[in-house]
Each structure stands twice: as structure tokens, then as C-alpha cells.
């Protein structure tokens, strides 16, 4: 019963956060001077044309009416139209969201898998140079700005040694041949896509490699001092099997940080996508901000916020399921 109460409480808190974030986004953009109609006015549009546009977009309504309509639209999935392109916002965001996700999710998974194994290796080599200094290279690279990592990779692997392209998701020839005739996801299955994918993918992997390696190293060092670790040594298990058991016990802190890193990577995509001209939501966000395309900007910000909030919600639920004291503790404070 305590777990159900814990789940209900976390659900209410999560819904409250989402409501608060959506409301804050609405009022924040309303507080910014000017709108897309103002940009059109600078191009010489008449007062009648501007009035018609404001009426069409509901900008002439009182603020509370606009706020109510905004909430209704969010709840019903009607996120409006792009004022710059005149197409539904979801149709504009959907392929770019897929492009961003297909870039970020595999990169974070690889970074956590490789980083965790490297961290376990560091933590299990007691007293060696690897344990003492092995964390320096991933930390030095991981604390660099992601755009700088991308520029360095472009310099070495695209300019000095032209191994990989540094611009776009596929070449224009591939897009004309496949993109206009087949579903969007088929682009991901082409060799040309994989070739363009390598540098931005490697940028994200290198940026997030250090966090799981440091956490796993610290967790392995703590775990190997536990009583059950001494028991494993007494039973005569080989070093590799002992390491495998230690990783199982020490991996929980790494696993719980995975959704946070994925959310952080998505929210930090802007610079990576700009550097590599990757057609994702980060690049779309920059274009929409510059053109004051408020419906698109609001929706992209809301998507990122939802991802972060739901990631934290998943971590809370995971803690509650694995460690009953977390769920029980929430009731004990009442």
C-alpha cells in the first residue's frame, strides 16, 4: 500500500511540475516584446493585414482567454501551426525529433556501456596507475563544451584526414533519391546516413563517457570493501567472475543516472546540431527563435521539459521499487 501511495504522490508532483512548466512557458513568451506579426509589420504589411493575422492566431484575445486556449490545446494535442511556415507544429517537429532521438539515445547507451566497463576496470585494479590516473582522460574530454569536441573531430577526421562528412544527415543525392519517395525512417538504414552519423555520434559519446566511468569506479571501490566481496574471494571465484558480481552490485547508481543524462543530452543538442548542421529539434529551435515562431519554440521547450520531468519521475519510481525504504519513508514523514 505504501508503494501505491508513493506512486500516487510522485504522479501528482510530476503532473504539477508539467502544469507549472507549461504555464511558465506561456507567460514567459507573452512577456517578450513583439511577436511574429511585428516581424511582418517590418516587411511593410498594412495595419489591416496585421489585424487579420492577430485575429487568426488569437493574439487579439484577452490574456486569460489565450492562456485557457493554450492549456486546452496542450491537453488535446492541438499544438497549433508554425507561423513561419504555415504547417502544423507537430508535422514540423516529428521528423526532427526522430533525427535528434536517433542521434542521442544510441550515443548515451554506448557511452554508459563503455564508461561503466572502463570504470569497473579502474575500480577493480586496486593500487595501480589505472585506478589512480585512469579517470583523467575521460574527465578532461567530458568537461569540454560539446561544440568544441565536435570542432576537434571535424578538424582531424574531416579536414586533415577526410574520413567522414561533417555536414548534414545525408547527402543531397541520397535525400533526393530516397527521402522524397520512401518513409523518413528509411534514411536511417542507408550507408550514407551512417557515414554522416559518425562524427556527431562520437561527439556525444565522448562528452558523456566520463560520468558513468567515474561513478562506476567509485561504486566498485565501495562495493569491493563489503562483506560479500570478501566472501566471493574466499569461495575461490576467478577475478573476472568476481568482477562480474561486483558490477551487478555497483551498477545501480549508474543505471539511475541514465535518464538524467539522456535528458541532459537532448537539452544540450542545440550546439551539436548547429556544428554538424544536423536537422534535429536543436537546430529547429534556433531557427524558430530567430524568426519568433512562438508555437514551435513553446512546443520544443515543452518537449524537452517533459522529457526531463518524466526522466526524474522514472528515477523516483525505480528507487521506490528497488529500495522499499524510499517508498516507506515517504509515508513515515506524514
Q: Which domains does the chain have, with CATH numbers?
A: 14-76 (no CATH), 89-291 (1.10.3720)
The Cα 188–Cα 124 span in angstroms is 39
Alpha-carbon Rg for the chain, nearest whole angstrom, is: 25
Q: Is the pLDDT of residue 81 over 90?
A: no
| Residue pLDDT, tens place only, 87-143 | 888 888 988 989 998 999 899 999 999 998 898 888 877 777 887 888 888 889 988
- Note the pTM of the prediction, 2 decimals: 0.78
Long-range contacts formed by 108-112: CB under 8 A, 24+ apart: 108/204, 108/208, 108/258, 108/261, 108/262, 108/265, 110/205, 111/204, 111/205, 111/206, 111/207, 111/208, 111/209, 111/212, 111/261, 112/208, 112/212, 112/254, 112/258, 112/261
Specify the pLDDT at position 255.
79
Q: Assess whether pLDDT exceeds 80 at residue 158.
A: yes
Q: Please report the pLDDT score of residue 102 as a whole number.
A: 92
> For 223-248, what is the mean pLDDT?
72
- Quick count: other Cβ atoms within 10 Å of Cβ 66? 16
pLDDT of residue 328: 58
For residue 182, what pLDDT is reported?
Answer: 58
Which pLDDT band, with edges at 50, 70 and 90, does 331 fall under?
Answer: very low
Decide: helix, strand or coil at residue 88: strand
Q: Residue 332: pLDDT above 50?
A: no
User: What is the predicted pLDDT for the residue at 333?
Assistant: 40
Above 90 in pLDDT, residue 153? yes
| Residue 35 and residue 292 in contact, taking contact as beta carbons nearer than 8 Å | yes
Dump pLDDT digits (tens) for 172-223: 777 777 666 656 777 888 888 999 999 999 999 999 998 899 998 888 888 7
- Written as one string, the DSSP assignment of 217-233 is HHHHHHHTTSHHHHHHH
pLDDT at 334 over 70: no
Amino acid at each position: 500500500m505504501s508503494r501505491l501511495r508513493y506512486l500516487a504522490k510522485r504522479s501528482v508532483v510530476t503532473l504539477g511540475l508539467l502544469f507549472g512548466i507549461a504555464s511558465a512557458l506561456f507567460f514567459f513568451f507573452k512577456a517578450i516584446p513583439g511577436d511574429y506579426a511585428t516581424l511582418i509589420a517590418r516587411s511593410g504589411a498594412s495595419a489591416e493585414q496585421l489585424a487579420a493575422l492577430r485575429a487568426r492566431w488569437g493574439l487579439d484575445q484577452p490574456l486569460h482567454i489565450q492562456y485557457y486556449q493554450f492549456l486546452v490545446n496542450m491537453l488535446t494535442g492541438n499544438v497549433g501551426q508554425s507561423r513561419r511556415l504555415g504547417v502544423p507544429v507537430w508535422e514540423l517537429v516529428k521528423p526532427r525529433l526522430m533525427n535528434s532521438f536517433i542521434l542521442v539515445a544510441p550515443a548515451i547507451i554506448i557511452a554508459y556501456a563503455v564508461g561503466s566497463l572502463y570504470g569497473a576496470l579502474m575500480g577493480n585494479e586496486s593500487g595501480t596507475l589505472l585506478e589512480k590516473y585512469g579517470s583523467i582522460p575521460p574527465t578532461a574530454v567530458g568537461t569540454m563544451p560539446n561544440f568544441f569536441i565536435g570542432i576537434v573531430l571535424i578538424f582531424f577526421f574531416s579536414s586533415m584526414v577526410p574520413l567522414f562528412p561533417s555536414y548534414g544527415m545525408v547527402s543531397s543525392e541520397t535525400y533526393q533519391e530516397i527521402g522524397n519517395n520512401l518513409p523518413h525512417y528509411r534514411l536511417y538504414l542507408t550507408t550514407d546516413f551512417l557515414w554522416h552519423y559518425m562524427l556527431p555520434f562520437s561527439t556525444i559519446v565522448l562528452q558523456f563517457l566520463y560520468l558513468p566511468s567515474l561513478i562506476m569506479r567509485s561504486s566498485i571501490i565501495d562495493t569491493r570493501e563489503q562483506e560479500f566481496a570478501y566472501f566471493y574471494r574466499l569461495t575461490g571465484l576467478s577475478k573476472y567472475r568476481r568482477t562480474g558480481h561486483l558490477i551487478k552490485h555497483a551498477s545501480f547508481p549508474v543505471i539511475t543516472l541514465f535518464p538524467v543524462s539522456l535528458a541532459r543530452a537532448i537539452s544540450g543538442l542545440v550546439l551539436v546540431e548547429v556544428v554538424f548542421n544536423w536537422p534535429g529539434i536543436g537546430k529547429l529551435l534556433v531557427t524558430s527563435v530567430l524568426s519568433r515562431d512562438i508555437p514551435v519554440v513553446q512546443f520544443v521547450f515543452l518537449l524537452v521539459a517533459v522529457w526531463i520531468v518524466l526522466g526524474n519521475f522514472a528515477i523516483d519510481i525505480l528507487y521506490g521499487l528497488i529500495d522499499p525504504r524510499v517508498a516507506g519513508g515517504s509515508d513515515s514523514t506524514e
